[in-house]
Structure 1
Amino acid sequence: SMLSYLQVAAQRGILVKDGRALEVLPEINTVVFDKTGTLTLEQPTVSQIHCYNGVTELKLLRYAAAAEAKQSHPVARAILQAAADQGLALPLLEDAEYKVGYGLKTQIEGRVIHIGSVRFMAIEGFAIPPDVATHQDESHALGHSLVLVALDGEVVGAIELQPTIRPEALEIIRDLHKRNIETVIISGDNDAPTRRLAADLGIDRYFAEVLPEDKANLVRQLQEEGHKVCFVGDGINDSIALKSADVAVSLRGATTIATDMAEIIFMNGTLGQLPELFTLADEFAANMRVNLVASMTPGIVGIAGTLLFGWGMTVCVFLMQSSTPVGIYNAVKPLLNEQRREIAHGPADHRCRGWSYNSLLCQ
């Protein structure tokens, strides 16, 4: 049964790397989502650039993009895309130090550049211009985020990033609620945009401005409260939380460390397969119960027949052996049903013809 459901999941573009996850999924009562790249599309867009202390927008964007040139996280890609749209030639990156959950310190053309949150700038001891608070309030009211840029210890600008909610996210949350599954956001982003996203999607709870190590602590806290937790994330910041969760899910195209930690990967790169995953897990649990009944019933009937009717060994052996073809048929039934479904309706959009469990593992 396990092998059959692993193959069915693979045919539907769901790579289950650890079969035990299918056994645990029916017990899950809480799904925790990362925000950026999971509930929102992986790459936000630069909506506005705020400049302080006489620095121009293009100069600010040029330095910010050069600093992020070797980074792969969504914010970096958004800044690099904005620079590419402006046709900016980027200077050579001399040195870089990435502080996970805080920001980036680099050296370019002999100048020291810091990029990160207000918290990061405060930790570095930089004075925050008065206009930052105003721009932060305005951007947060729209559900946007601000990334500050400092040159040689002076905050000279802020890049405003606009997230885009995944089109399937609202329907996914509604489906989870129908299954009586609580939904939670744990994000390193600021409180206001995280709160707005939670309200827009109907998320039950949210935690904002959470450092990577604290994400795992929150997962363990939920588990101590009696929750069975499935964590869905895609970034380096999520790796510790993914490892701590009862079931870890990631998306194709996520960071390598996230997909390595995840037990399940959605190969189409969206959340649309999450309800289907829970349905498959429920079907697997029901299939296993049928197998259990099929294997135990002949023994119980044989014992009762021997005690009440004096059945001999031959009858009991026949009864025991009769459970074997029943168990085999029940185990392969998911594959047969999947084949019939594809013949009748064709592969769904998210499936790939010819995909198998082994081929997905190779990818």
Structure 2
Amino acid sequence: MKTRYKINEMTCSGCQAKVTDALQTFADKVTVSLHPTEAVIESDKKIPLEELQHALSQKGSYTIQEITENADGTETLSEIAHHAAHAHHNHNEPPKQLEHLAGKYYCPMLCEGDKVYDSNVGCPVCGMDLVRIGGNSSDNKEVHHLKKLFYQSLVVTIPVFIIAMFGMSHDSFIYKIIPYNIALWLQFIGATTVLYIGRNYLKRAWISFKTWHLNMFSLIGLGAVAAYLFSLFVLINPHAFHAAEHLPIYFESVAVIFTLMILGQWLEARAHQKTKSSVEHLLNLIPQKATVLVNGNATEIDVEHIQVNDEILVKPGEKIPVDGIVTSGQTSINEALLTGEPLPVLKKTNDEVLAGSINTNQSFQMKATRIGVTTTIAQIVEMVNKASLSRTPIQRLADKISGYFVPIVVAIALITFVYWGFLSTETSLLFGLQNAIAVLIIACPCALGLATPVSISMGIGKGAEYGILIKKAESLEALQKTNVVITDKTGTLTEGKPSLEEIIPLKDLSEEALIKITAQMNSGSEHPIAKAFTDKAKTMNIVFQSNKMVANIPGKGIQGMINGKKVFLGNEALLKQNNIGVSQTILHQVEEIQSSGKTVSYVAIDKDIVGLAVIHDALKPDVKATIDFLHSKNIEIIMLTGDHAHTAHAIAKQIGIDKVFAQQLPEGKLSMIESVQKEGKTITMVGDGINDAPALAKADIGIAMGSGSDLAQDFAKITLLNSSFSNVKKAIVLSTSVMKNIKQNLFFAFIYNIIGIAVAAGIFYYATGMLLSPMIAAFAMCLSSVSVITNALRIKQLKL
């Protein structure tokens, strides 16, 4: 037997290989694909889903769902296995097979795959702080640790600095308090202590040279160690420099360099922590306890013990513990945490409610449908954190520049040392060494390394606050390059809540009879248009029976059997497919209705058109203003819709859309995207339905409405939780602001380095006498990082 499965969290060829390896233990014939993320297993017997899930969990944070094909051509996904849903994932969760290595460390970027380290010496590839296996990414341990290190090094550095600054001459008051030789040895002890406090960063520098993955710690380590060893040599052999007015000892520079470097790391960690808090605080808002109904009796249990299909009682003022469906009662739910919409939303029987939302006024009962990491909140956190770790093209460019930057700086330092130490007639070996050390320190690429990721992280966090979920950092960069927005109509520009205004009989059947027939045809569907027909029948107290002999024809309508007769409900394409002719009289009547922006569906029995269904879907209130904004940015707007041309053009004229392509099937939308891309334009596609999924995947940036289909959201790079079209404008403003911020950061980083290296190397010495001591260079290096971080934090104050 052949069974299809959807594999969640499978994002690359490496994942594909791991999933294949896990599933091949169950059958000889296993096919795993990335597009779509599915697996097909051919086996003699049915394999329990729990066993498959267990095998996948050994390979990573993958979950599996069985795909069942329904009679009407639609597909249904099974629930994720219970034990998998209870697992708690962090955005930088290590591979499952490493869980027994609690206390070890791994790189959150997985630069070296599943490799683990004994201590947090930093990733040897990217230099990033490692993550402790079994640790909690959302706590402040790392921030507190760096804060502690900073204050420890500061306490030691201050007296060393004071002694060095006020002890530049032999008759200084310092030496009346502390003898000269003892003062020098105290500086040595202080610098050594600070190096010990920051020993992990020395290890990072050593590893970077050992592996030749050069990063900012390479220059810090090289410069500090050179200054320290040289000063130690002078301290042990003071007579070698007896002619010098002041012994060239730079212990205070070493202490200041490392103290400022630890300060920079602390500030960076705080910036990342603030970014995480924009989203991860949602998890803390989920209640710890929930009231579960067992045989009608209320029992309070821990939230992690809730199972799928459990009945839960939610009282007024309580937070909803898991995602679910209302089974009894109605109330207003505040979903602001998830959608950004401040007004409570009315929820009644069969409506979905989400974990973290607040029940505002009445008790209700619900059935749990998604628990643990499968809840909407958990998926949001996962998505945003993964996006913050992904790299944009501009960031990859900065990383590449950094790779060349370190050896170039080392070469400049060597040239500086050789010139001022051996070739210049005015200076000496001491002068050359001092300038070379200053070059190494001022050129530290900390700011260059921080310029992009800090801004990207802040931007993704800010987007999450407005209900704009960015899955890939690269989409945040690409969005501001958009020059064409292609949008669906129903559910995107319109409310997606169509109502059946009227049914116009064309034959002997009455309006009530036609409503009964169309309601019966739509009784098995939850599609918004289907509900428009069934809701109309219920409103008019028309009793209708369920009809399962109905097939959905994508992009055209539905057809089925009632009382032995073929019934068709859909557009002209459906009629043409079944060789049903439309008279000119009916066509004129339909066009007149469509000219007012309404949609018309034909009702046909066998070969006769017996009625017209007039459907109206109101425009979202923010659409016109958003279209005007896009035009102000010279962005062209194209509507692709499956609706009739007359309806589509009427709506387009109303809101100012540039081009309209109506009666489009999924393949037509995809072809349109491809044709516009061939013109060299950057396309943002906005949609919400299953039929939009191929176009969303093909577009440069796909934006899905949160109220739309799961498939559309899977293929989109950005999801708008509150489904407001105005958030397209906000997303573009956010993208533009973040990219502007990144360019400012890169400017700060490069200008500091270019000017600093030039001054430290002595290029302006003959003209101005200007030089940088190693200590001043360390201060300037730290200042560049602080400037970048401070500038990036401004995104937090951005109003979209």
Short-chain TM bin: 0.7 to 0.9
Write the deviation string for residues 298-347 of structure 1: whole angstroms up to 9, x where unpaired.
22113311141465782555543432222222233322x25xx7xxxxxx
1:153 to partner: Cα distance: 4.2
Output the CA distance in 2 between the equivalents of 1:270 and 1:232: 11
Task: Give the equivalent residue in structure 2 for 1:71.
Answer: 525
Task: Give the equivalent residue in structure 2 for 1:3.
Answer: 457
Output the CA distance in 1 between the equivalents of 2:773 and 2:563: 89
Structure 2 counterpart of 1:160, from 598, 614, 630 = 614
Matches for 1:184-203 after TM superposition, within 5 Å = 184-203=638-657
Higher deviation after alignment, 40-49 or 148-157 = 148-157
Tell me the amino acid that sits aligned with residue 700 of structure 2.
Answer: D
Output the CA distance in 1 between the equivalents of 2:628 and 2:568: 40
Tell me the amino acid that sits aligned with residue 465 of structure 2.
Answer: Q
Higher deviation after alignment, 264-273 or 167-176 = 264-273
Output the CA distance in 1 between the equivalents of 2:516 and 2:475: 45
Q: Which has the higher contact order (CA 8 A, sep 6+)?
A: 1
1:238 to partner: Cα distance: 1.1
Output the CA distance in 1 between the equivalents of 2:515 and 2:661: 30
| Contact 2:524–2:546 (Cα < 8 Å) also in 1 | no
Write the deviation string for residues 2-58 of structure 1: whole angstroms up to 9, x where unpaired.
111111111122222222211111100111111122112212222221223312222
| Contact 1:299–1:319 (Cα < 8 Å) also in 2 | no
Output the CA distance in 2 between the equivalents of 1:57 and 1:122: 25
Shift in CA distance, 240/126, structure 1 to aligned 2, threshold 3 Å: same
1:108 to partner: Cα distance: 3.9
Task: Give the equivalent residue in structure 1 for 2:719.
Answer: 265
Provide structure 1 residue ranges, at least 5 long, that are not aligned to the other structure. 342-347, 349-363
Q: Does 1:328 align with 2:789?
A: yes
| Contact 1:102–1:119 (Cα < 8 Å) also in 2 | yes
Write the deviation string for residues 122-146 of structure 1: whole angstroms up to 9, x where unpaired.
2112243554223212212322221
Task: Give the equivalent residue in structure 2 for 1:360.
Answer: none
Q: Does 1:287 align with 2:748?
A: no
Output the CA distance in 2 between the equivalents of 1:279 and 1:127: 49
Instruction: Please give the secondary structure, in 1, of the residue aligned with 2:480.
Output: helix
Instruction: Please give the secondary structure, in 2, of the residue aligned with 1:40.
Output: coil
Of structures 1 and 2, the larger Rg is shown by 2
Higher deviation after alignment, 127-136 or 309-318 = 309-318
1:154 to partner: Cα distance: 3.4
Write the deviation string for residues 49-80 of structure 1: whole angstroms up to 9, x where unpaired.
12233122222111212222233333222222
Instruction: Please give the secondary structure, in 1, of the residue aligned with 2:486.
Output: strand
Instruction: Please give the secondary structure, in 2, of the residue aligned with 1:177.
Output: helix
Higher deviation after alignment, 68-77 or 280-289 = 68-77
Task: Give the equivalent residue in structure 1 for 2:419.
Answer: none
Task: Give the equivalent residue in structure 2 for 1:124.
Answer: 578
Tell me the amino acid that sits aligned with residue 735 of structure 2.
Answer: A
Instruction: Please give the secondary structure, in 2, of the residue aligned with 1:92.
Output: coil
Matches for 1:1-363 after TM superposition, within 5 Å = 1-128=455-582, 131-305=585-759, 306-309=761-764, 311=771, 314=774, 316=777, 318-335=779-796, 337=797
Identity over aligned residues, as a percent? Answer: 27
Instruction: Please give the secondary structure, in 2, of the residue aligned with 1:165.
Output: coil
Task: Give the equivalent residue in structure 2 for 1:351.
Answer: none
Output the CA distance in 1 between the equivalents of 2:792 and 2:714: 29
Output the CA distance in 2 between the equivalents of 1:129 and 1:180: 43
| Contact 1:92–1:109 (Cα < 8 Å) also in 2 | no
| Contact 1:236–1:255 (Cα < 8 Å) also in 2 | yes
Output the CA distance in 2 between the equivalents of 1:257 and 1:131: 40
Tell me the amino acid that sits aligned with residue 272 of structure 1.
Answer: S
Higher deviation after alignment, 171-180 or 119-128 = 119-128
Output the CA distance in 2 between the equivalents of 1:180 and 1:72: 39
Tell me the amino acid that sits aligned with residue 96 of structure 1.
Answer: V
Output the CA distance in 1 between the equivalents of 2:531 and 2:720: 22
Tell me the amino acid that sits aligned with residue 742 of structure 2.
Answer: M
Aligned length in residues: 339
Output the CA distance in 1 between the equivalents of 2:691 and 2:526: 12
| Contact 1:94–1:109 (Cα < 8 Å) also in 2 | no
Instruction: Please give the secondary structure, in 2, of the residue aligned with 1:36.
Output: coil
Shift in CA distance, 108/256, structure 1 to aligned 2, threshold 3 Å: farther
Write the deviation string for residues 147-177 of structure 1: whole angstroms up to 9, x where unpaired.
1122344332220112322221111111111
Higher deviation after alignment, 104-113 or 171-180 = 104-113
Instruction: Please give the secondary structure, in 2, of the residue aligned with 1:49.
Output: strand
Output the CA distance in 1 between the equivalents of 2:548 and 2:662: 33
Higher deviation after alignment, 140-149 or 130-139 = 130-139
Output the CA distance in 1 between the equivalents of 2:527 and 2:609: 22
| Contact 2:682–2:700 (Cα < 8 Å) also in 1 | yes
Output the CA distance in 2 between the equivalents of 1:249 and 1:240: 12
Output the CA distance in 2 between the equivalents of 1:56 and 1:190: 26
Q: CA RMSD in A?
A: 2.1
| Contact 2:523–2:546 (Cα < 8 Å) also in 1 | no
Instruction: Please give the secondary structure, in 1, of the residue aligned with 2:534.
Output: helix
Tell me the amino acid that sits aligned with residue 22 of structure 1.
Answer: L
Shift in CA distance, 85/9, structure 1 to aligned 2, threshold 3 Å: same
Higher deviation after alignment, 16-25 or 72-81 = 72-81
Instruction: Please give the secondary structure, in 2, of the residue aligned with 1:230.
Output: strand
Instruction: Please give the secondary structure, in 2, of the residue aligned with 1:192.
Output: helix
Shift in CA distance, 69/256, structure 1 to aligned 2, threshold 3 Å: farther
Output the CA distance in 2 between the equivalents of 1:322 and 1:137: 68
Shift in CA distance, 127/184, structure 1 to aligned 2, threshold 3 Å: closer
Output the CA distance in 1 between the equivalents of 2:685 and 2:524: 28
Output the CA distance in 1 between the equivalents of 2:515 and 2:584: 21
Task: Give the equivalent residue in structure 2 for 1:358.
Answer: none
| Contact 1:114–1:150 (Cα < 8 Å) also in 2 | yes
Tell me the amino acid that sits aligned with residue 57 of structure 1.
Answer: E
| Contact 2:492–2:723 (Cα < 8 Å) also in 1 | no
Instruction: Please give the secondary structure, in 1, of the residue aligned with 2:567.
Output: strand
| Contact 1:35–1:186 (Cα < 8 Å) also in 2 | yes
| Contact 2:567–2:603 (Cα < 8 Å) also in 1 | yes
| Contact 1:50–1:158 (Cα < 8 Å) also in 2 | yes
**TM-score using structure 1 length:** 0.86
Higher deviation after alignment, 122-131 or 239-248 = 122-131
Tell me the amino acid that sits aligned with residue 83 of structure 1.
Answer: A
Output the CA distance in 2 between the equivalents of 1:313 and 1:90: 88
| Contact 2:509–2:610 (Cα < 8 Å) also in 1 | yes
Instruction: Please give the secondary structure, in 2, of the residue aligned with 1:308.
Output: coil
Task: Give the equivalent residue in structure 1 for 2:273.
Answer: none
Tell me the amino acid that sits aligned with residue 785 of structure 2.
Answer: T
